[in-house]
Amino acid sequence: MHLGLDEPMRECQYNQICTRNSSPMETSGHKKKRTPRRKWQIFPGRNRFYCNGRVMMARQTGVFYLTLVLIMVTSGLFFAFEWNNPPFQMVTELRFRQADGIYSTQSTVNLCCPFLASNLTPAIPVIGGVLFVFVLGMLFRASFSDPGVLPRATPDEAADLERQIDAANGPSGPGYRPPPRIREVVINGQTVKLKYCFTCKIFRPPRASHCSLCDNCVERFDHHCPWVGNCVGKRNYRFFYLFILSLSFLTVFIFAFVITHVILRSNRTGFLSALKDSPARYPFTGAECVLWSILGLSGFHTYLISSNQTTNEDIKGSWSTKRAKDNYNPYSYGNILTNCCAALCGPLPPSLIDRRGFIQPDTPQPVLHSNGSSMYTSTQLHTHMCDQEHCIQSTKLVLQAAATPLLHSDPVMMGGGGPPLPGKSSLGDPCASLAPSQPSLPSSMPGLGCAGDMLILRDPDTHCHHHHFVSPEETPSPGPMPLTLPCAAHMTHGGHINPAQLYGPASQDSLHEDSVRGLVKLSSV
Amino acid sequence: MAETHSLQDMRQQAAIAAKVFIQRDYTSGTVCHFQTKFPSELENRIDKQQFEETVRTLNNLYAEAEKLGGSSYLEGCLACLTAYTIFLCMETHYEKVLKKIAKFIQEQNDKIYAPRGLLLTDPIERGLRVVEVTIFEDRSLGR
């Protein structure tokens, strides 16, 4: 409708979008030469990085700060109140009162071990202090380290896997639904199914799982812990376990001394009133709240370690004999001691994601999602098109663009869809190249593309399903749109879009490109 | 002769004809072990025995890295006692073996694979998922 009109103005509008959304593509050409970017800056998962990539956490960190505050406040109160008026420095007032009717404050007696009082007294706060420092150390280690994230497949790898899967499944007829992508492998006599991860484009190794909160596949995935603000996986499980174990000891330690303090006071006034009056009620309350849950959790994880299972496997009952009579855990080493040693003292594998490494210009990068820009140098550019995150991001950009009155005409025009735009379109080359290829999209649908995803849509276990729940929250769009997007995204997989046309002159216009692409996909469904 | 191109030259000048991916073999559990099956794309490029020997050595090196034994337990216990601060000063056993692997792959590339127009990529750069073998165009055949 507005073709050919106000071309310079339209270009200005595109530039406005780019700068408003601070696309790195515009400035990256200049900036990359000066400040090489590190890999964490383009990491596709939903993680947060601090200290220039040294610290890696989940996106939601509020509960982690709560954990920190609870530990520090309870311990701080304990050290403040109990140390000022500790039971081990308290006078055995009863004894002296009974003896001569006079309160004596001359001698200090440790009620626990009277004959070792002078030796033990300094040891107790030291032990408390050491425990406290150890708890914090393990917490930080569990929270800040990489849990064992598997990096996403490069486009070449993904294409190779797709080819293998297509070859394995054979030609598909009309209405043929290919089975979900699963590989079976026999490990120590047990058949284990390896599922294909649509986000990471890999077959997940055994015991790996995709965390929907962090949007990463994690090796030996245990669970996502909001208290720790990170996933618990292969690389940080031992820190997590040591954290909850030492926290149990610290909580019991605090609880024990607080109870002792209150009991001593209650000799005079009675237990409940002593509890009410004593400042020890603060650490007491704090300690008791967490004591049973922490003790229970430690016990549970001790059981898991001794049987070499993950929380994920235990909850699903993967190796339970209820599933099948001859079901057993193929990863267990047979005895409890070896299982414990392997989990806690085994070799610590290094991080696979190399967060602080510099981005090499000649290495292929996996599909990005955070800023919608693509920086491929690999030969197979079209494989990035089937990234769901990319599509969801495109929708967001579309909606943002649609919200501005200046650009209101654009969606309307592209939504019209059908007739190919003239070669020299004021919208730029990518849009023009996309439009003519639209009619080819449905016919280029591979057997495993859309239909495969439709199957996955019904599988509650996969993250693909999760995306459909996440995206309505992320975008203000109405319901149907997000559901169709991944399908449309996969329809373009292996499609006939010429990569050169897409990435030629419009490299600085990537955001607009993405939003238009999203619209095109919408209209093509 | 084209066979004597250095690795750098190859990467910069030669065009990539294809890439072959050697996948992981999970039959012995979660340990890092690659399939030793010889891919058909490399049949006219390299000797099957030589390739399998490379992969077997790689597998042995990874097994050494992940081995559970006295030394790894000792390292783990010591690390735990020092609240893992010891790793600020020293490398883990795994990292030491990874360096050995990187050296081994570099050596193999220089001696065996580059002269044949092939390039092995260190699996750690691919997240220990695959061994990527890049096949470069064979210019000597005038292709």
pLDDT digits (tens, 9 = 90+) for B33-48: 999 999 988 888 889 9
Burial of B39 (0-12, 13-18, 19+ CB in 10 A): middle
How many angstroms from the chain centroid is the CA of residue A376?
Answer: 25
Give strand ranges (E) for A198-325: 202-203, 209-211, 216-218, 223-225, 230-232
Q: Please list the pLDDT of chain A residue by residue as tens digits (525 residues).
A: 444 444 444 444 444 444 444 444 444 444 445 678 888 898 998 999 999 989 999 999 999 999 999 999 888 888 887 666 554 444 444 444 445 544 444 444 444 333 333 344 677 888 889 999 999 999 999 999 999 999 999 998 898 888 888 877 766 655 565 566 888 899 988 889 899 999 999 999 999 999 999 999 999 999 999 999 999 999 999 999 999 999 999 999 888 887 877 777 777 676 666 666 666 566 666 667 778 889 999 999 999 999 999 998 898 888 887 777 788 888 888 889 999 999 988 898 999 988 888 887 765 555 544 444 433 344 444 444 444 555 555 555 555 655 555 544 444 444 344 444 444 444 344 444 433 444 443 344 333 333 333 333 334 444 433 333 333 343 344 444 433 433 333 444 433 434 444 444 444 455 555 555 555 555 554
Residue A195, beta-bridge partner list: A182
Give strand ranges (E) for A418-482: none
pLDDT digits (tens, 9 = 90+) for B103-136: 999 999 999 999 989 999 999 999 999 999 999 8
- Residue A84 has φ and ψ, to the nearest 5°, of -70, -30
Closest CA to B111 of B122, B123, B102, B119: B119
Closest CA to A338 of A348, A346, A349: A346
- Put simply, the answer to whether A185 touches B26 (Cβ < 8 Å) is yes
Angle between helices A450-458 and A480-491 (to 10 degrees): 140
Q: Quick one: pLDDT at residue A132? A: 94
Q: Is A489 helix (H, G, I), strand (E, B) or coil?
A: helix
Q: Quick one: pLDDT at residue A465? A: 39
By percentage, how much of chain B surpasses pLDDT 70?
87
DSSP string, A272-301: HHHHHHSTTHHHHHHHHHHHHHHHHHHHHH
Task: Find the residue in B nearest to A340 (Cα).
Answer: B73
Q: Quick one: pLDDT at residue A477? A: 41
Report strand pairing: B118-121 vs A202-203.
Answer: unpaired
Residue A143 neighbours by CB under 8 Å, 6+ apart: A57, A64, A228, A229, A230
Q: Quick one: pLDDT at residue A398? A: 58
Residue A170 neighbours by CB under 8 Å, 6+ apart: none
- Put simply, the answer to whether A346 touches B24 (Cβ < 8 Å) is no
A62-72 exposure pattern, b = at least 16 Cβ within 10 A, e = fewer: eebeebbeebe
Quote the tokens at residue A254.
Answer: 């605090």
- What is the C-alpha separation between A275 and B127, in angstroms, rounded? 56
Count other C-beta atoms under 10 Å from residue A331's C-beta.
Answer: 22
- Put simply, the answer to whether A151 touches B75 (Cβ < 8 Å) is no
Quote the tokens at residue A437.
Answer: 């290829």
Half-sphere exposure of A146 (CA within 13 A, CB side): 22
The label of the residue with tokens 């000797």 reads: B47
Choose the mutation target among A39, A145, A156, A236 for the interface with B, i.e. most B CBs under 10 Å.
A156
Residues in B touching A194 (Cβ below 8 Å)? 26
Residues in B touching A344 (Cβ below 8 Å)? 76, 80
- What is the C-alpha separation between A395 and A520, in angstroms, rounded? 10
Q: Are A333 and A342 in contact (CB under 8 A)?
A: yes
Chain B interface includes A192 (CB < 8 A): yes
Q: Quick one: pLDDT at residue A422? A: 43
Residue A162 neighbours by CB under 8 Å, 6+ apart: A383, A448, A493, A494
- Put simply, the answer to whether B68 touches A154 (Cβ < 8 Å) is no
Please provide the size of chain B in residues: 143
Instruction: Provide the annotated active-site residues of A.
Output: 225
The nearest CA of chain A is from the CA of B20 a distance in Å of: 8
Q: What is the CA radius of gyration of chain B?
A: 18
Q: What is the dihedral sign for C-alpha A57, A58, A61, A64? A: negative
Residues in A touching B124 (Cβ below 8 Å)? 350, 352
Residue A381 neighbours by CB under 8 Å, 6+ apart: A155, A374, A499, A502, A503
- Put simply, the answer to whether B83 touches A134 (Cβ < 8 Å) is yes
The nearest CA of chain A is from the CA of B5 a distance in Å of: 19
The nearest CA of chain B is from the CA of A70 a distance in Å of: 22
- Helix H or strand E segment including A50: strand A47-50
Quote the tokens at residue A273.
Answer: 């009133």
A285-323 exposure pattern, b = at least 16 Cβ within 10 A, e = fewer: ebbeebbeebbebbeebeebbbebbbbbbbeeebbeeee
Nearest-CB residue to B21 (from A160, A187, A188)? A160
Quote the tokens at residue B7.
Answer: 């690795």
Q: Is B86 helix (H, G, I), strand (E, B) or coil?
A: helix
- Helix H or strand E segment including B139: none
Nearest 5°: the CA angle A447, A153, B135 is: 90
- Put simply, the answer to whether B27 touches A186 (Cβ < 8 Å) is yes
Q: Provide the whole-model pTM.
A: 0.67
Q: Is B38 helix (H, G, I), strand (E, B) or coil?
A: coil
Q: Quick one: pLDDT at residue A261? A: 76
DSSP state of B111: I
Q: Is B23 helix (H, G, I), strand (E, B) or coil?
A: strand
